[in-house]
Each structure stands twice: as C-alpha cells, then as structure tokens.
C-alpha cells in the first residue's frame, strides 16, 4: 500500500514538474523578444521590428536588425548610421540616459558616420523634455548645442502654456531660435483665438527690441491665416464632405447621382456608427480594388473594437472581393494585436503562424509581439 501511495505521489510530482516545464517553454516561445525575431525570419517589416525592439529595450537585437535592413543598400554605412541615431534616441526616451550616452561613446563616429554631435544634442533635448534641464546642459558639448537646448526648453514651455517663460527664454537664444519661438507662440495664440494676449505678453519682456520682434513675428502668423479661399467642390467631393460631417444618406445619394468612384472612404467613416449599412453600400461598387481596401479597413476597425470574429469575417470578404490572392499585412497585424490584448497570445499566435502568406505571418507575429510589449502597435 505504501508503495502505491509513493508511486502516486511520484507520478503526480512528475506530471506537475512536466507541466511546469511546458508552461515555462510556452512563456519562452511567446515572449515579445522571441516573436520579434520570428517576425524577422518571416518577412516582417524590418523598420517596424527595429523600432519595437528598441522601444522594448532589446537594443542588441535592434542593432542586428538595423544591420540586416541596410545590408544590401548602396550607401550602407550612412543608412546604418540613421538607424543607430534612432536607436540611441529611443534608448534615451526609454529613460536610460546613461545607457544612451554610453552607446554613443562605444559606437562613436565609425558607426555614426559623423553624426556623433547630432546624437548628443538629441539626448540633451530628450532630457529637456523629461524636465532635466540641468542634465541637458551638462550633456551639451558646444555653445550651439546649448542654444538648441534652450530653444527646446522654450518649445516645451509653449506646449505647457507658459508663454512668459518661453519668451524669457527667447531673450537668451540666438535670433533664429528666438524667431522660431515667436512664430510658435503666435500659432498657438491664433489656434486658441487668443490674439488679444499678444501685446500684454510682449509688454512683460525685458528686452524691448526682442519684444518688438515678437509682436511682428506673431502678427505675421495671424495674418497668414486671414486669407481664405472658397473652392468649388465637385459633386463627388461634396459626397466626401457629407461623410466627414456624418451625413451618410446625403453622401450616398450624391454618389448614386454622379456615379462616383472610390467610395471606400465614405463607407469606412460610416462603419463606426452603421457597420452593416456601410458594408452593404460599399459592396455595390464595381471597383473591386477599392471595395477590398475598404472592407480590409473595416476589419481593422472591428479588431480595434475587440470584435475579433467580425474582423476575421471582414478580412475573408476582403480577400474574396479581389480576383487575385490579395494579402493585407497591416490588417493582420492589427487583428493579431487586438486578439492578443483581448484573449492572450495563444490563439492569436496559432492564427498568425497559420496565415498563407509569409509576409503576412511576419506582420501578424509583430502584432502579437507589440501587444505583449506595448499598449499600442505604434
């Protein structure tokens, strides 16, 4: 009896251990990092894979992808340097300022193709955006860089609505940077309808010469927006305009009367509120390519709304609509992302690996990896 009990315990332990190993194996296979590498092997978009690897902190993988993406380019070294600059910038944006600086130092000008100073300036600007102005000044290596950092700080304050601080900054930068800030403030005042604030803001500036320049520059942005031209739209243009305003019945009447082509835009806009009617109207069109495109876009919208079943059905319709075997890499990427967000990676991953086109598999795998590593595909 004791032997049987011991055997049962041993068997249960063995099964449990095997199950734990299986779960560990599944977790390894569905990690964002491994899926990004798998997407690379399956023809996924190398530029997007590179940005995901960098954004998720897989910097060595991103550098390897950059080298692969530029391996057959004529000016390989220069193109690679662009990827390297972006990689260092993303690393800094991720909050690893010291790591970004160290990467710039190690890779140096041999990999940066003379863009070393640009990289340093980008890191400093990111420090400004993160509120570390002192650190940004310490990163700067030249007076010109310091001026650029000051301008970046001024733009940050404009975005925050603190025009007085931005104007104070404009009094301590070169003329070009000052005018950039003046025009930026003028644009924001115009967009807000707050042009009346112009002179009170200028009156608080210490440097009266710069204050006059500010008034002149900002006023120019006001007047530039004052000229309006009335364009006569074609009937089909009116249909598109109706769709923008949500007047879909009017839009389709205009389409029918004037035999308008390329009606997918109207249907896509309508899908958000009237999905069945939007699909029905679009399928009447004789432009099969436009219909297929519109249905695929609806599939992406359904995925974003979490309706995976509807999204897959629409994707199938989009494929059937065209005589050739159409493939939709961006569509399957969106579905894979949404499916993973909604239900986890397992089913989405099985579907991604079953897709008929290699390149679609690469995009779908990227979608799963993005969902595992980020909140959105971008």
279-299 pLDDT per residue, tens: 999 999 988 889 999 999 999
Q: Choose between 364 and 103: higher pLDDT.
A: 364
Percent of the chain predicted with pLDDT > 90: 62
Q: Does the pLDDT at position 322 exceed 50?
A: yes
* pLDDT at residue 326, as a whole number: 66
Q: Does the pLDDT at position 222 exceed 50?
A: yes
* pLDDT at residue 228, as a whole number: 42
Q: Name which of 364, 368, 343 is nearest 31 in CA terms.
A: 368
Query: Other CB atoms closer than 10 Å to residue 289's CB: what's the count?
Result: 15
Rounded distance, CA 289 to CA 270, Å?
19
What's the rounded mean pLDDT across residues 43-57?
94
* pLDDT at residue 76, as a whole number: 85
DSSP 233: P
Q: Does the pLDDT at position 210 exceed 60?
A: yes
CB neighbour class for 317 (10 Å; exposed up to 12, middle 13-18, buried from 19):
middle
Q: Span 46-224: which CATH code?
A: 1.25.40
Q: Name which of 316, 360, 359, 356 is nearest 334 in CA terms.
A: 360
- Helix or strand (DSSP H, E) at 332: helix 329-343
What's the rounded mean pLDDT across residues 162-174?
94
For 4-33, write each residue's pLDDT tens digit. Answer: 544 444 454 544 544 444 444 444 457 999
**Which stretch of 80-94, 115-129, 265-279, 347-361 has the lowest confidence by average pLDDT?**
115-129
* pLDDT at residue 77, as a whole number: 82
Q: Does the pLDDT at position 135 exceed 60?
A: yes
CB neighbour class for 357 (10 Å; exposed up to 12, middle 13-18, buried from 19):
middle
Mean pLDDT of all residues belonging to the chain? 85
* pLDDT at residue 110, as a whole number: 62
* pLDDT at residue 21, as a whole number: 40
Q: Where are the domains of the chain?
A: 46-224, 234-301+320-326
Q: Does the pLDDT at position 369 exceed 60?
A: yes
Cα dist. 213→164, 178, 183, 218, 331 in Å? 15, 9, 10, 8, 50
Q: How confident is the model at residue 229 (pLDDT cuts 50, 70, 90)?
A: very low
Cβ atoms of 136 and 124 within 8 Å: the answer is yes
Cβ atoms of 181 and 166 within 8 Å: the answer is yes
For 231-277, write each residue's pLDDT tens digit. Answer: 456 888 889 889 989 999 999 999 999 998 889 999 999 999 999 99
Q: How confident is the model at residue 224 (pLDDT cuts 50, 70, 90)?
A: low
């Amino acid at each position: 009896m004791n032997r049987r009990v011991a055997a049962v315990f041993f068997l249960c332990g063995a099964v449990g251990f095997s199950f734990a190993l299986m779960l560990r194996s599944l977790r390894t296979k569905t990690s964002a990092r491994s899926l990004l590498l798998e997407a690379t092997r399956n023809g996924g978009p190398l530029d997007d894979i590179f940005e995901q690897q960098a954004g998720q902190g897989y910097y060595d993988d991103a550098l390897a992808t950059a080298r692969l993406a530029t391996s057959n380019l004529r000016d390989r070294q220069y193109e690679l340097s662009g990827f390297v600059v972006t990689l260092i910038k993303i690393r800094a944006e991720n909050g690893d300022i010291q790591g970004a600086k160290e990467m710039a130092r190690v890779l140096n000008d041999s990999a940066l193709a003379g863009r070393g100073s640009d990289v340093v300036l980008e890191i400093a600007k990111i420090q400004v955006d993160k509120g570390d102005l002192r650190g940004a000044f310490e990163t700067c290596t030249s007076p010109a860089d310091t001026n650029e950092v000051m301008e970046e700080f001024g733009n940050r304050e404009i975005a925050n609505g603190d025009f007085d601080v931005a104007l104070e900054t404009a009094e301590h930068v070169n003329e070009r940077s000052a005018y950039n800030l003046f025009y930026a403030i003028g644009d924001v005042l115009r967009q807000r309808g707050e042009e009346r604030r112009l002179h009170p803001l200028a009156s608080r500036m210490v440097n009266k010469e710069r204050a006059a320049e500010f008034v002149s520059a900002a006023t120019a942005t006001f007047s530039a927006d004052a000229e309006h031209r009335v364009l006569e739209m074609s009937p089909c243009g009116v249909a598109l305009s109706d769709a923008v305003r949500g007047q879909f019945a009017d839009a389709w009447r205009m389409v029918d009367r004037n035999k308008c082509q390329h009606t997918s835009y109207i249907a896509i806009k309508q899908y958000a509120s009237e999905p069945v009617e939007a699909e029905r109207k679009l399928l009447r069109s004789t432009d099969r390519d436009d219909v297929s495109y519109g249905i695929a876009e609806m599939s992406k919208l359904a995925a974003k709304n979490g309706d995976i079943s509807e999204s897959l059905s629409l994707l199938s319709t989009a494929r059937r609509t065209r005589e050739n075997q159409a493939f939709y890499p961006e569509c399957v990427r969106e579905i894979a992302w949404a499916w993973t967000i909604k239900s986890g990676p397992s089913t989405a991953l099985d579907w991604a690996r079953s897709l008929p086109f290699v390149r679609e598999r690469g995009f779908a795998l990227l979608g799963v990896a993005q969902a595992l590593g980020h909140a959105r595909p971008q």
